[in-house]
Structure 1
Amino acid sequence: MNTKAMYAIVTTLIGCGLNNVFLEYIIKQDPGCGHLITVAQFLFIAIHGFIMTSKFGTVQPKIPFKTYLILVVLFFLTSVINNWAFNFNIPVPLHMIFRSGSLIANMIMGILILKKKYTLKKYISVAMITLGIIICTLMSSGNKNKACTDCDLQVEKQTAEDHFFWWIIGIALLSGALLLSARMGIYQESIYKHYGKHPQEALYYTHLYSMPGFLFYSQSIWEHMKIATESEPYEIPMVHLVIPILWLLILLNVVTQYLCISSVYILTTECTSLTVTLVITLRKFLSLIFSIVYFQNPFTIYHWFGSALVFIGTLLFAEVFARIKPPPFEGQLRQRDDKKLN
């Protein structure tokens, strides 16, 4: 494995992992700031792309504006909904597990739109992922806020019902985002077939053209900007610069988000699909473990069982186990045994 591939693996694990850590810190302090996080991420990538990809507007895009429009709408809605879901009592571990169900959405869209047919192994692996997500979702539905101990039972019951109602809305949003993401992937493939692959350009223009869409959420963004500004001040060591802690966390989240995206791009160009699947699955698993242990998120034995089904099902779908070759010596012994039997 070359140096560039090793760099991509390390930065993917570190960048994407840290991104989840900073995201969870933000959500713990301000669960409703999903729109603010999304617009900050989009703005950073748009500015970076304007400088590095379009060279201050001097490089013309290879894909026309009209073709980008549908992709931009799908991408914008998917990104906004995924971050917005945190406002509806969705814990970060469930969010990570649920988004691992993208294979289910891809299969559904493949069957409905592309008329694809899959092998029995694919259906079994997707059934495992679906069952795992259902188990984790049902177990998470019971994680209500039980801080009220001496209050009226009727008030507590009403609070629990409200929690469950908004939790259902959050699950519906995540489900919709999965289907939108799968449809976006199919449309993106059709664009690449017609115009060729231009991932850096697509990354830049999908973020740039999406910026006007945030005008619809300007009130929410402004409210949470004020919350971030009024958050506890934090003095950055060495430089002795004082900044509100939420703004610092948002900045770190934005930078690590870009590091994560760019690292995955390098990973897909330098490594096999097997390696990419293994690294991304490992990254999700490590992020999940860290979220449970460090942030003390509620996680029962049922959650662990559901998570195992999701991750094993993902590896089966990608045919990771079938494509991992045995060591040469072991393979030679097997061939020798087969010859003896014949």
Structure 2
Amino acid sequence: MRAAFAVGLVFAGCCSNVIFLELLARKHPGCGNIVTFAQFLFIAVEGFLFEADLGRKPPAIPIRYYAIMVTMFFTVSVVNNYALNLNIAMPLHMIFRSGSLIANMILGIIILKKRYNMLKYLSIALVSVGIFICTFMSAKQVTSQSSVSENDGFQAFAWWLLGIGALTFALLMSARMGIFQETLYKQFGKHSKEALFYNHALPLPGFIFLASDIYDHAVLFSKSELYQLPVIDVTVPIMWLYLLMNVITQYVCIRGVFILTTECASLTVTLVVTLRKFVSLIFSILYFQNPFTLWHWLGTLFVFIGTLMYTEVWNNIGTARSQPQKDDKKN
């Protein structure tokens, strides 16, 4: 019952979060920093109150290790959100981030000296082909939708190329962070709630360097059209409302994933997250009428099938459940 509730949170929170993020990015493509800051602040405050017990509960994992993890987590979050300002459409953003299996395998081979069976290599090949198709078709759309001026077309493509580079960097950094987190959990035990708090609280001072951009977008948000809230009869700038809903849905999404990791096997979590990304992609295409050709659908299908092959879901669907993994201390 608890696992079903967690799946509901993941789908409701993560899918709606994508919608509010796109509403924000469409109006102000460079708003990634204020979105990231708001998400970090909300989750850090919640964790300080309920996980850190107002700072009275000492961390189970030494702070020096969290400092390393936080540096990677902060970088990944900022770069991923900022990529939306570099001619990266939301559908491509979601598809590209689905390539985490590729990054995990590459770094697993290089750092952990892992070896995989042929099925996993084939699945990664499918995911790679799918991402390549979607990326190639998106590149054609960027150049065709640009101005007729050759310089404008080249400039748009150059920014798009920089966005692809940013997403690739974030993908590899995220995989490296996952490996580092895995080694910490083996050494100190699994403390997911604690990690969630410190990953969002410790980077907050880093936003000082982004303060100017955050302030500029706060001013822009305040100047957006007013929206009258039902029932309470209060008007607020609509961009602030979108941001608030984005933060809340992000928290619901993260909480759902956390509950799922304590109730189900990692296979189930991977499958649910993959399905969620696929549903979010469909929402984005249908709701916002994003350009999505038959080639894009083919690439997406390759990514989806490759992910299912990697998790070998058809062999494990009946045994996906495992004993709940509890933190050593109070959750």
> What is residue 269 of structure 2 aligned with on the other side?
276
- Distance in 2 (CA, whole Å) between partners of 1:177 and 1:17 is 21
> What is residue 65 of structure 2 aligned with on the other side?
67
User: Is the 8 Å Cα contact of residues 142 and 160 (structure 2) preserved in structure 1?
Assistant: no
> What is residue 94 of structure 1 aligned with on the other side?
92
1:233 has 2:231 as partner: no
One-letter amino acid of the structure 2 residue matched with residue 111 of structure 1: I
Q: CA deviation at 1:323?
A: 2.1
Structure 2: unaligned runs, 5 residues or longer: 320-331
Q: CA deviation at 1:322?
A: 2.3
User: Sequence identity, in percent?
Assistant: 52
- Distance in 1 (CA, whole Å) between partners of 2:43 and 2:143 is 37
Assess, with a 3 A threshold, how the Cα gap between structure 1 residues 325 and 265 changes in structure 2: closer, same or farther. Answer: closer
1:185 has 2:178 as partner: yes
- Distance in 2 (CA, whole Å) between partners of 1:201 and 1:75 is 14
- Distance in 2 (CA, whole Å) between partners of 1:304 and 1:122 is 22
> What is residue 243 of structure 1 aligned with on the other side?
236
User: Is the 8 Å Cα contact of residues 9 and 255 (structure 2) preserved in structure 1?
Assistant: no
- Distance in 2 (CA, whole Å) between partners of 1:185 and 1:192 is 10
Q: CA deviation at 1:216?
A: 1.5
User: Is the 8 Å Cα contact of residues 146 and 156 (structure 2) preserved in structure 1?
Assistant: no
- Distance in 1 (CA, whole Å) between partners of 2:120 and 2:175 is 17
> What is residue 296 of structure 2 aligned with on the other side?
303
Q: CA deviation at 1:223?
A: 1.1
1:175 has 2:196 as partner: no
Q: CA deviation at 1:147?
A: 7.2
User: Is the 8 Å Cα contact of residues 277 and 315 (structure 1) preserved in structure 2?
Assistant: no
One-letter amino acid of the structure 1 residue matched with residue 71 of structure 2: V
- Distance in 2 (CA, whole Å) between partners of 1:136 and 1:87 is 19
SS at match of 1:143: helix
Q: Deviations over 1:216-263 (max 9, x none)?
A: 211111111111111111111111111111110001000100100010
> What is residue 104 of structure 2 aligned with on the other side?
106
Counting only pairs closer than 5 Å after superposition, residues 17-166 of structure 1 correspond to structure 2 as 17-144=15-142, 153=148, 156-166=149-159
One-letter amino acid of the structure 1 residue matched with residue 241 of structure 2: L
SS at match of 2:88: coil
CA RMSD, aligned part only?
1.5
SS at match of 1:243: strand
Q: CA deviation at 1:29?
A: 0.6
Q: CA deviation at 1:159?
A: 1.4
Q: CA deviation at 1:148?
A: 7.7
Assess, with a 3 A threshold, how the Cα gap between structure 1 residues 148 and 123 changes in structure 2: closer, same or farther. Answer: closer
User: Is the 8 Å Cα contact of residues 271 and 311 (structure 2) preserved in structure 1?
Assistant: no
Scaled by the length of structure 2, the TM-score of the pair is 0.93
2:215 to 194, 202, 222: 222
> What is residue 329 of structure 1 aligned with on the other side?
none
1:201 to 194, 199, 219: 194
- Distance in 2 (CA, whole Å) between partners of 1:192 and 1:322 is 27
Q: Deviations over 1:160-208 (max 9, x none)?
A: 1111000000000000000000000011011111111111011001111
User: Is the 8 Å Cα contact of residues 6 and 259 (structure 2) preserved in structure 1?
Assistant: yes
